[in-house]
Amino acid sequence: MSSYQSIVVLTGAGISAESGIRTFRASDGLWEEHRIEDVATPNGFRRNPTMVHNFYNTRRKQLLSPEITFNAAHKALALFEQRFAGKYLLVTQNIDDLHERAGSQRIVHMHGELLKSRCDDCGEIFSYRDDLWVTTPCPRCQLSGSLRPHIVWFNEIPLELEAIYSALASCDLFVAIGTSGNVYPAAGFFQEASHHGAHTVELNLEPSVSGSLFKEQHYGPASEVVPRFFA
Ligand code: BJW
């Protein structure tokens, strides 16, 4: 690893699976029980904000429950960041805060954060650990019913793309961890990095849809393969 000067790591739901947070596309995943159009699109929220708030309130409560803690994979990334002398960026698609709890600092939540809310009217973002209701007024502009989860839904533009593409253009190592490669633009990041000359690595429980296109692959639970790779 000491031969690399600039590293981008992309994480997905698989890194938090062993912490007890469900992934999306597994047979027991979140999308088996909920229609994406209902709970993860701007139209779904417009149609039934109460149902969408309930969906995220339930997940917020679960994330804050004592049994949910970061695992060895989150910790290995945080320790690696501390000792790596070069440029490093952790891009996560996850909306949980387990990377932060493990100690990661240079991190971008491209699909938003579960413990934040945003005012649709004034745009202010708030730390939010309580249940969010349709009637909760915006603490800044006082408008009622304008708060929404600070989440990037389908057909919305992911966050901090400029910083991400800039890091992808200059990295010499790109590592994707625990993501199925189904959701764009994140699913195309390895090709972007590779196009600019980076070595690309997939760490996953099983091959993702584009696993064979990575230059190096290691398969197994994140709590085992990630600490081994970043040792
Ligand atoms: C383990 C493990 C263990 C298990 N150890 N591994 C056609 C029609 C309409 C739209 C599109 C279209 N084609 C493309 C689009 C765009 C669309 C898209 O990609 N759709 C696809 C479904 C086709 N994308 C968007 O709309 C995005 N926005 C966009 O494109 O804007 C336009 C634009 C972009 C760029 C520039 C300019 C304009 C927005 C996408 C938002 C995604 N939001 C969600 C919901 C977030 C909120 C929530 O959590 O409720 O984000 S969807 C969901 O999927 C979530 C995740 O971040 C994301 C990725 O999932 P992930 O992490 O890969 O999880 P899984 O479950 O799929 O996979 C888990 C993996 O872990 C598996 O591989 C397992 O093997 C592994 N694993 N246990 C290691 N122990």
Structural tokens at position 136 = 């909760």
- Six-digit token string for 144: 């009622």
Same domain? For 75 and 172 the reply is yes
What is the CA(177)–ligand 1 centre distance, in A?
13
Instruction: Tell me, yes or no, whether 214 and 125 share the same domain.
Output: no
Residues in the chain with pLDDT < 70?
none
The set of protein residues with a Cβ atom below 6 angstroms from ligand 1 is 12-14, 17-18, 23-25, 29, 40, 93, 95, 111, 151-158, 161, 178-180, 182-185, 204-206, 208, 221-222
Contact partners, residue 195, CB within 8 Å, separation at least 6: none
Which residue range is the domain that position 177 belongs to?
1-21+70-111+158-231
Query: How many CB atoms lie under 10 A from the CB of residue 170?
Result: 15
**What whole-number distance in Å separates Cα of residue 216 and Cα of residue 37?**
35
Look at the chain and report how many structural domains it folds into: 2
25 annotated to bind ligand: yes
pLDDT at 33: 87
Residue 31 and residue 59 in one domain = yes
CB-CB neighbours of 124 under 10 Å: 14
- Cis peptide leading into 221, omega within 30 of 0? no
In terms of domains, do 39 and 118 share one? yes
58 is in an annotated binding site: no
Pair (95, 162) in one structural domain = yes
Asked if residue 60 and residue 106 are part of one domain, the reply reads no
Do 91 and 10 form a contact (C-beta atoms < 8 A)?
A: yes
Q: What is the dihedral of CA 92, 153, 36, 102, to 10 degrees?
A: 20
Position of tokens 């690893």? 1
DSSP 137: B
Q: Indicate if 184 and 229 belong to the same structural domain.
A: yes
Q: What is the CA radius of gyration of the chain?
A: 18
- Regarding an ipTM greater than 0.90, the answer is yes
Whether residue 203 is found in the same domain as residue 217: yes
The answer on whether 112 is annotated among ligand-binding residues is: no
What was the pLDDT predicted at 193?
Answer: 98
Position 222: which residue type?
A
Question: And the tokens for 31?
Answer: 């999308």
Q: Indicate the pTM of the whole model.
A: 0.97
Query: For the chain, what's the residue count?
Result: 231
What CATH number does the domain containing 61 carry? Answer: 3.30.1600.10
Residues 224 and 181 placed together within one structural domain of the fold? yes
What is the model's pLDDT at position 175?
A: 98
